[in-house]
């Protein structure tokens, strides 16, 4: 297997079928993974992330037969198994009620590499995964978690005195390298219970509510064993990560305990080294003075005096990583949980989890200044992308950071701003599309306005209809002259 | 002493400091019985000099020295020092005296009453050693104050980079939560020492902190330097809250818990500069060593900036290699070896072949031949005869150590004590010429210690404290004229002191303000080798010979109960003491604790077990409160509406949810059918419980219990319904019921005997369902939740399986009909 040579394997958790609650009604009939972002299925982005990292194969875990079939067929056309150049994908179907950890457990037997990369099927990022893997392996980390700062501070959305809702509480060390604490709960929590020994170990810990788990994990193979043994862990985010932070702490404690039990200082610890040196210096002095009367190394305070004022060496005694003897077996003493905090100025990272993020991600990927490079499209001189097969009407305008797909017809005086339009779109005369996502074959009648909305495949707007802040399900028809604001419109299932 | 009017006018613009010349603890006893702590020499200079000089260096123009114990000594000292008005320094030093003061809180209230402070001021204790530049901290404080009047205090803290550092200072572990962006203090908590039996494995952090910021910083590595910049409002707060005693424990926690008042505290973190305060003997040792090792520059001996007041003259220290500082006229023979970190005052003579390291020796000491002094502090005019070994000890003025004696680490030899020849003073022994007042040990004349979280002293009842206060006042008045600063003139004072001996004559021997003159005389006779006349007063003094040795003079002072002698010992700690190991078993589940009881019920059981060992598990307290309120309502036969009002009041007061109330109301109803649990077995509510419970091992017993329950439930079903607002609440009650039956969590060891209900679990569920207390949906949600639980947690689900199955069936039927309708 080519990927074995790289030392890591990729797993994409592509999620469920069409009944995704968060993206309803858009996802009706289409698995979330195949919803278009900049006119490409969502799943293609994590696949590209993996193939950019040099992987040749990837496992795609899909829950539910129906979604699995749809994704398999798309993968077969897009990444045919025959060609050598492209990524080879193996689709694995798991029951719909499986959590993310369960899903990972189901592929455990197929993992041969020492490191595995688990990536959520709805993640769009240009963080180089191979670099993360390299750092992970270099530090002999147990797990590396990618964290992504929120664009909107949760505190700004919360009333003073009330705990914020739906945030991840992530405890990091001051260098923002190690994961010390992890709690995520969809509800507001009243108190965080932070293990004291964890803070004592480090001296300080920051807890942030404005970081989110980007759902890109790099795991050591030994974690599969943990998953195997801990059958009750269902979700990576809600069960495994909190569990690991605790286990990690226990391991640290055990390590400290064994250290304490040893009367002989561990030679690899820098602070201990310092002490030994100090003691030997004093002994040397005593010898010079020809004074053997005082047992010099029993001087009061000699054993701790050096620690008193100087900073420990960087990553020194306080860092668990360096405590573990580098030559020691990594499997017996799993070293640490690391994090990678994405800087928005350097890298793009976003997940599609809701209507808002779906629209936002679409717009951002369409914007050459933000993340167009993810889609692999090249902007025109107007900083937008209009397929050559598209017919533009008289005085039709397409602003920058817009995408218009193939075979679309834009009517006279129509205008498109900050929007992504799929293939086969028909815009009527004087139609306005602002801040919206129009999937394939949407028909917008004359004098219509679409603002801040997402229209799924085949939606039709009759003349003078107007939608604002709406999500419209596939095939829905909006009658002429109607105005909708802030609604979810879907065909009633029969 | 009342402040002068003129000063008050000026105080508006000048930079003012308040220096508390009393730390209100008794960790330095018995030394502080005779001498206030701030006048104790720290590397041969009284501690207060370090603080005053540092304040003056920071351009403080006016310093109020608040004196309490030994106020006369402090006043006298200051009057003779360079700080006297018109003296060498520009900073004005004014003393405020209040002998009746027992805590920092009271001191600040007195200062508030006197209305001296008009602007923001610096609050320090008189034992602060620092070289920090106050300017940036002041600027930061003033900038915050300008922006927000409520930013009333800035506390200076310093990070320790190694856990051992805190131990060096004998400090309590503290936990601080900060807002990293504004340095605002959010939480301040003293932690029990790591590894202590009562230590909790968790810190609870209020998630509401995140409503105003996205990041918080939790630190255990900050040490409070006891330097604060305060707004005058701080004094007002102390006056408003007359129960505030300790600056940190009461004031800081009080302000933080009353967030609605809007007062904000901030932290200024010190980097690189030195700040420490000598609040126990351990830190006395540490700070002395730091001074010798020049961390406190410019406050080191050879700069000769600091000088003792009085007729002491200028210091003349000179630096030699290896942190050795000797004054002129120090006689050290060639054969004597001075190791590193040594400071020796003028006029001291050492004999041949002595070895001295890491020690400070005062002026005019006589040290014999072949003496070994390691890590010890020897004050002025001490005589040490030949072949003595001093290790990690503190020897005060005029003490006399006879030939061949050895002093073990941690020993305190107070003023004038004589150690007999060849005697060995045991580890951590404290010796004084004053007799310890047995039975009044927790009381204090000068310094009163409040119990810390680790519980050092019992604190003493307020009444007893005031008694001792009165006593010492009487005595101090009686002795007023006889007090000298140095102990060197004891003999000269003898005549005058006679009158002060009332206490001893009256047989009480309550000599805790100063040693009885007879003891002093006897000690000096012993020291000089003179014979004591038979039948004289001196002969009547019975020293504790077993601790000072034959031919010695002194009494033993036993530490107060609970006083951690090792932790505050002047001797350096052992390395093994420094290793902190938390037991593995402590760590159960961390994470969020909140309204989602599912999690509480299922996965956090270990945690609740843990918490149970703590005395004040909030859940147990809450449970007791709900049950108590409910029982009171039952007893008083309140109408339903009034019961609801009572419980609602409790709910609002404690900021709880409806479900929190409902679940314990329900368990109270359950226990009302059983014999009273131990907590209520006696007292006013006992009559509410049946005297004997049904014998649940028999079928009849079970039926009887169920019937009793049915009766109770039917009378309280409306109440429960009022508190069960939705399905989730009902599920919570079911989970609590489960816990109750399995005597788990808060019900463990509560003696409520909930297991009696275990056998009739499904029947109780049926009752709840029939009386509409719990809905069908809630039952099914509960069952569904439990489906995925561990086997061990499914016990009750299994019991109720039939009932649940029946419910499901009926629901399916319902659904079918609905579908057809659709």
The pLDDT confidence band at residue B230, using thresholds 50, 70 and 90, is: very high
Interface test with A, best of B168, B178, B211 (most A CBs within 10 A): B211
Nearest CB to B590: which of A155, A193, A271?
A193
Q: Which segment of A214-223, A257-266, A424-433, B186-195 scores lowest on mean pLDDT? A: A257-266
In which element (H, E) is residue B347 found? none
Beta bridge partners of residue B374, listed in sequence order: B357, B391
Q: What is the mean pLDDT of residues B85-99?
A: 80
Which residues on B lie below 8 Å from A195 (Cβ)? 201-203, 587, 590
Q: Is the pLDDT of residue A67 over 50?
A: yes
Contacts of residue A351, Cβ cutoff 8 Å, sequence gap at least 6: A120, A122, A123, A124, A148, A212, A214, A215, A357, A361
The pLDDT confidence band at residue B405, using thresholds 50, 70 and 90, is: very high
pLDDT of residue A294: 37
Coil/strand/helix, residue B374:
strand
Mean residue pLDDT across chain B: 76
- Kindly state the percentage of chain B with pLDDT values over 90: 15
pLDDT of residue B8: 46
Report, at the CATH architecture level, how domain B325-436+513-531+541-572 is classified.
3 Solenoid (2.160)
Beta bridge partners of residue A437, listed in sequence order: A420, A454
The CA-atom distances, in angstroms, between B97 and each of A130, B1, B64, B583 are: 71, 6, 10, 49
- Identify whether the C-beta of residue B628 lies closer than 8 Å to the C-beta of residue B635: no
Which residues on B lie below 8 Å from A307 (Cβ)? 161-162, 164-165
Tens-digit pLDDT profile for residues B592-634: 444 433 333 333 333 333 333 445 677 888 888 888 888 888 8
pLDDT of residue A447: 92
The pLDDT confidence band at residue B507, using thresholds 50, 70 and 90, is: very low
- Identify whether the C-beta of residue B95 lies closer than 8 Å to the C-beta of residue B65: yes
Report, at the CATH architecture level, how domain B16-194+222-281 is classified.
Alpha-Beta Complex (3.90)
Cα–Cα distance measured from residue A395 to residue B13, given in angstroms and rounded to the nearest whole number = 72
| Beta carbons of B593 and A163 less than 8 Å apart | no
Interface test with B, best of A150, A158, A174, A203 (most B CBs within 10 A): A203
Cα–Cα distance measured from residue B720 to residue B732, given in angstroms and rounded to the nearest whole number = 13
| Chain A 332-371, residues with CB within 8 Å of chain B CB atoms | none
Interface test with B, best of A173, A184, A191, A247 (most B CBs within 10 A): A191
Minimal Cα distance from B205: which residue of A? A192
Minimal Cα distance from B789: which residue of A? A232
| Beta carbons of A193 and B210 less than 8 Å apart | no
| Chain A 112-151, residues with CB within 8 Å of chain B CB atoms | 150
| Beta carbons of A158 and B210 less than 8 Å apart | yes
Nearest CB to A163: which of B165, B210, B216?
B210
Q: Is the pLDDT of residue B17 over 90?
A: yes
Domain ranges of chain B: 16-194+222-281, 325-436+513-531+541-572, 638-814
Interface test with A, best of B131, B191, B570, B592 (most A CBs within 10 A): B592
* Diameter over CA atoms, chain B: 117
- Identify whether the C-beta of residue A22 lies closer than 8 Å to the C-beta of residue A352: no
- Distance between A398 CA and the closest CA of chain B, angstroms: 39
Domain covering B638-814 assigned CATH 3.40.50.300 in the classification:
no
pLDDT of residue B815: 53
- Distance between B355 CA and the closest CA of chain A, angstroms: 8
pLDDT of residue A333: 37
Coil/strand/helix, residue A403:
strand
Coil/strand/helix, residue A275:
helix
Interface test with A, best of B209, B214, B256 (most A CBs within 10 A): B214
Domain ranges of chain A: 379-489
pLDDT of residue B387: 93
Q: Is the pLDDT of residue B463 over 80?
A: no
- Distance between B637 CA and the closest CA of chain A, angstroms: 35
Higher pLDDT, B748 or B235: B235
Q: Determine contact: A181 vs chain B, CB below 8 A.
A: yes
Higher pLDDT, A254 or B284: B284
pLDDT of residue B528: 76
The pLDDT confidence band at residue B466, using thresholds 50, 70 and 90, is: very low
Minimal Cα distance from B274: which residue of A? A309
pLDDT of residue B384: 93
The pLDDT confidence band at residue B11, using thresholds 50, 70 and 90, is: very low
Which residues on B lie below 8 Å from A205 (Cβ)? 217-219
The pLDDT confidence band at residue B55, using thresholds 50, 70 and 90, is: very high
Q: Which segment of A234-238, B262-266, B515-519, B735-739 scores lowest on mean pLDDT? A: B515-519
Q: What is the mean pLDDT of residues B364-371?
A: 92
Which residues on A lie below 8 Å from B592 (Cβ)? 169, 183, 185, 189, 191-193
Higher pLDDT, B463 or B643: B643
| Beta carbons of B593 and A191 less than 8 Å apart | yes
DSSP E strands in B212-332: the ranges are 215-219, 222-230, 264-270, 275-277, 318-320, 324-326
Which residues on B lie below 8 Å from A300 (Cβ)? 285, 358, 374-375, 391-392, 409, 571-572
The pLDDT confidence band at residue B468, using thresholds 50, 70 and 90, is: very low
Tens-digit pLDDT profile for residues A233-255: 888 877 888 888 777 766 665 65
pLDDT of residue B613: 40
The pLDDT confidence band at residue B168, using thresholds 50, 70 and 90, is: low
Which residues on B lie below 8 Å from A259 (Cβ)? 579
The pLDDT confidence band at residue B573, using thresholds 50, 70 and 90, is: low
- Distance between B503 CA and the closest CA of chain A, angstroms: 41
pLDDT of residue B136: 92
The region that residue B772 occupies, defined by phi over 0 for left and psi between -120 and 50 for alpha, beta otherwise, is left
Higher pLDDT, B568 or B111: B111
Nearest CB to B211: which of A160, A187, A294?
A160
The pLDDT confidence band at residue B448, using thresholds 50, 70 and 90, is: very low
Which residues on A lie below 8 Å from B582 (Cβ)? 196-197, 200, 253, 256
Which residues on A lie below 8 Å from B208 (Cβ)? 161-163, 190
| Beta carbons of B219 and A199 less than 8 Å apart | yes
Task: Give φ, ψ of A410 to 5 degrees.
Answer: -105, 125
Q: What is the mean pLDDT of residues B111-138?
A: 90
pLDDT of residue A449: 92
In which element (H, E) is residue B771 found? none
| Chain A 192-251, residues with CB within 8 Å of chain B CB atoms | 192-197, 199-200, 203-210, 232, 234, 242, 245-246, 249-250
Tens-digit pLDDT profile for residues B574-587: 544 443 433 333 34
- Distance between B566 CA and the closest CA of chain A, angstroms: 14
Tens-digit pLDDT profile for residues A424-436: 999 999 999 999 9
| Beta carbons of A193 and B202 less than 8 Å apart | yes
* Residues shown for chain A: 494
The pLDDT confidence band at residue A493, using thresholds 50, 70 and 90, is: low
Q: Determine contact: A191 vs chain B, CB below 8 A.
A: yes
Q: What is the mean pLDDT of residues B288-292?
A: 89
Fold of A379-489: UDP N-Acetylglucosamine Acyltransferase; domain 1 (2.160.10)
Higher pLDDT, B673 or B172: B673
* Diameter over CA atoms, chain A: 106
In which element (H, E) is residue B380 found? none
- Distance between A52 CA and the closest CA of chain B, angstroms: 33
Q: Determine contact: A163 vs chain B, CB below 8 A.
A: yes
pLDDT of residue A252: 60
| Beta carbons of A199 and B218 less than 8 Å apart | yes
């Amino acid at each position: 297997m080519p990927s074995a040579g790289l030392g890591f394997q990729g797993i994409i958790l592509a999620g469920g079928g069409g009944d995704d609650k968060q993206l309803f009604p858009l996802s009706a009939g289409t698995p979330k993974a195949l919803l278009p972002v900049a006119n490409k299925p969502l799943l293609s982005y994590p696949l590209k992330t993996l193939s950019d990292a040099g992987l040749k194969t990837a496992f795609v875990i899909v829950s539910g037969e129906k979604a699995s079939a749809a994704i398999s067929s798309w993968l077969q056309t897009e990444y045919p198994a025959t060609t050598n150049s492209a990524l080879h994908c193996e689709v694995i179907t798991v029951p719909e009620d499986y959590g993310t950890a369960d899903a990972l457990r189901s592929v455990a037997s197929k993992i041969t590499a020492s490191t595995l990369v688990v990536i959520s099927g709805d993640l769009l990022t240009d963080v180089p995964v191979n670099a993360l893997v390299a750092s992970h392996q270099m530090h002999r980390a147990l797990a590396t978690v990618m964290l992504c700062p929120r664009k909107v501070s949760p505190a700004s959305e919360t009333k003073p005195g009330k705990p914020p809702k739906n945030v991840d509480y992530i405890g990091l060390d001051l260098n923002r390298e190690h994961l010390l604490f992890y709690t995520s709960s969809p509800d507001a929590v009243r108190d965080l219970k932070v293990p004291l020994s964890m803070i004592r170990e480090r001296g300080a810990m920051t807890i942030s509510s404005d970081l989110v788990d980007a759902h890109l994990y790099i795991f050591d193979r030994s974690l599969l064993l943990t998953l195997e043994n801990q059958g009750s862990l269902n979700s990576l985010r809600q069960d495994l990560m909190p569990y690991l932070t605790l286990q990690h702490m226990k391991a640290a404690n055990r390590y400290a305990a064994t250290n304490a039990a040893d009367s002989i200082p561990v030679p690899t610890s820098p602070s201990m080294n310092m002490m030994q040196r100090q003691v030997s210096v004093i002994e040397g002095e005593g010898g010079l003075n020809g004074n053997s009367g005082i047992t010099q190394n029993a001087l009061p305070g000699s054993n701790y005096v050096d620690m008193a004022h100087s900073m420990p060496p960087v990553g020194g005694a306080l860092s668990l990583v360096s405590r573990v003897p580098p030559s020691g077996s990594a499997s017996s003493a799993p070293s640490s949980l690391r994090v990678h905090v994405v800087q928005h100025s350097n890298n793009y990272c976003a997940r599609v989890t809701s209507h808002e993020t779906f629209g936002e991600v679409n717009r951002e990927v369409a914007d050459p200044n933000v993340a167009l490079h993810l889609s692999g499209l090249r902007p025109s001189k107007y900083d937008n992308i209009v397929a050559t097969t598209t017919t533009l009407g008289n005085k039709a305008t397409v602003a920058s950071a817009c995408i218009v797909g193939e075979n679309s017809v834009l009517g006279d005086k129509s205008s498109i701003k900050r929007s992504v339009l799929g293939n086969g779109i028909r815009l009527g005369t004087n139609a306005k599309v602002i801040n919206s996502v129009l999937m394939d074959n949407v028909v917008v009648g004359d004098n219509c306005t679409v603002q801040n909305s997402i229209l799924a495949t085949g939606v039709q707007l009759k003349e003078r209809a107007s939608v604002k802040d709406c999500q419209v399900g596939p095939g829905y028809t909006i009658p002429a002259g109607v105005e909708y604001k802030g609604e979810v419109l879907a065909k009633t299932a029969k | 002493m009342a402040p002068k009017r003129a000063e008050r006018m000026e105080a508006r613009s000048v930079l003012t400091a308040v220096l508390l010349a009393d730390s209100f603890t008794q960790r330095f006893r018995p030394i502080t019985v005779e001498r206030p702590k701030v006048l104790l020499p720290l590397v041969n200079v009284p501690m207060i000099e370090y603080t005053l000089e540092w304040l003056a260096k920071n351009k403080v123009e006016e310093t109020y020295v608040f004196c309490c114990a030994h106020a006369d000594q402090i006043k006298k000292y200051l009057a003779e020092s360079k700080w006297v008005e018109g003296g060498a320094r520009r900073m004005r030093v004014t003393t405020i005296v209040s002998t009746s003061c027992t805590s920092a809180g009271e001191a600040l209230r007195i200062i508030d009453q006197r209305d001296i402070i008009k602007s923001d001021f610096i609050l320090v204790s008189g034992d602060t050693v620092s070289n920090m530049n106050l300017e940036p901290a002041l600027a930061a404080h003033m900038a915050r104050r300008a922006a927000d009047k409520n930013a009333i205090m800035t506390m200076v803290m310093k990070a320790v980079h190694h856990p051992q550092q805190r131990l060096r200072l004998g400090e309590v572990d503290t936990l601080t939560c900060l807002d990293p962006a504004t340095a605002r203090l959010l939480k301040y908590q003293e932690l029990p020492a790591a590894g202590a039996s009562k230590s909790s494995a968790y810190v609870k952090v209020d998630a509401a902190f995140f409503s105003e910021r996205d990041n918080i910083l939790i630190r255990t590595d900050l040490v409070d330097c006891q330097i604060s910049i305060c707004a005058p409002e701080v004094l007002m707060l102390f006056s408003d809250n007359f129960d505030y005693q300790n600056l940190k424990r009461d004031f800081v926690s009080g302000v933080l818990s009353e967030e609605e008042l809007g007062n904000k505290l901030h932290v200024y973190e010190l980097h690189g500069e030195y700040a420490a305060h000598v609040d126990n003997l351990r830190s006395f040792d540490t700070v002395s060593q730091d001074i010798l090792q020049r961390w406190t520059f410019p406050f080191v001996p050879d700069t000769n900036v600091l000088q003792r007041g009085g007729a002491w003259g200028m210091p003349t220290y000179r630096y030699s290699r290896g942190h050795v500082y000797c004054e002129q006229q120090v006689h050290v023979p060639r054969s004597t070896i001075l190791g590193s970190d040594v400071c020796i005052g003028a006029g001291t003579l050492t004999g041949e072949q002595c070895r001295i390291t890491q020690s400070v020796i005062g002026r005019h000491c006589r040290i014999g031949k072949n003496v070994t002094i390691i890590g010890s502090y020897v004050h002025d005019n001490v005589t040490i005869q030949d072949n003595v070994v001093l290790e990690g000890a503190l020897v005060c003025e005029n003490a006399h150590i006879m030939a061949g004696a050895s002093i073990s680490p941690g020993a305190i030899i107070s003023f004038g004590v004589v150690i007999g020849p060849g005697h060995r003073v045991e580890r951590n022994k404290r010796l004084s010429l004053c007799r310890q007042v047995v039975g009044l040990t927790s009381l204090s004349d000068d310094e009163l210690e409040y119990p810390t979280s680790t519980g050092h002293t019992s604190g003493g009842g307020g009444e007893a404290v005031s008694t001792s206060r009165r006593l010492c006042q009487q005595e101090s008045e009686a002795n007023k004229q006889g007090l000298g600063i140095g102990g060197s003139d004891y003999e000269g004072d003898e005549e005058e002191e006679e009158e002060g001996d009332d206490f001893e004559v009256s047989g009480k021997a309550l000599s805790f303000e100063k040693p009885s003159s007879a003891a002093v005389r006897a000690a000096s006779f012993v020291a000089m080798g003179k014979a004591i006349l038979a039948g004289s007063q001196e002969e009547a003094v019975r020293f504790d010979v077993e601790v000072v040795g034959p031919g010695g003079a002194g009494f033993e002072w036993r530490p107060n109960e609970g006083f951690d002698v090792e932790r505050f010992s002047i001797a350096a700690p052992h390395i093994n003491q420094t290793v902190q190991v938390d037991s593995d078993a402590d760590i159960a589940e961390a994470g969020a604790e909140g309204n989602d009881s599912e999690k509480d019920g299922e996965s956090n059981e270990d945690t609740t077990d843990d918490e149970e060992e703590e005395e004040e598990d909030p859940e147990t307290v809450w449970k007791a409160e709900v049950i108590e309120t409910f029982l009171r309502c039952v007893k008083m036969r309140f109408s339903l509406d009034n019961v609801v009002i009572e419980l609602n009041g409790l709910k609002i007061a404690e900021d709880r949810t409806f479900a929190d109330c409902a679940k314990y109301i329900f368990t109270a109803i359950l226990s009302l059918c059983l014999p009273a649990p131990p907590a209520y077995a006696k007292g006013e509510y006992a009559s509410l419980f049946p005297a004997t419970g049904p014998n649940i091992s028999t079928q009849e017993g079970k039926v009887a219990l169920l019937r009793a329950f049915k009766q109770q439930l039917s009378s309280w079903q409306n109440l429960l319904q009022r508190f069960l607002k939705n399905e989730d609440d009902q599920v919570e009650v079911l989970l609590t019921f489960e816990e109750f039956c399995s005597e788990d969590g808060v019900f463990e060891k509560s003696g409520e005997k909930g297991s009696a209900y275990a056998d009739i679990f499904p029947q109780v569920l049926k009752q709840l369902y029939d009386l509409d207390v719990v809905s069908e949906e809630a039952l099914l949600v509960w069952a569904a939740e439990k489906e995925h639980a561990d086997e061990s947690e499914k016990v009750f689900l299994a019991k109720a399986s039939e009932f649940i199955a029946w419910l499901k069936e009926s629901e399916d039927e319902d659904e079918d009909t609905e579908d057809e309708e659709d």
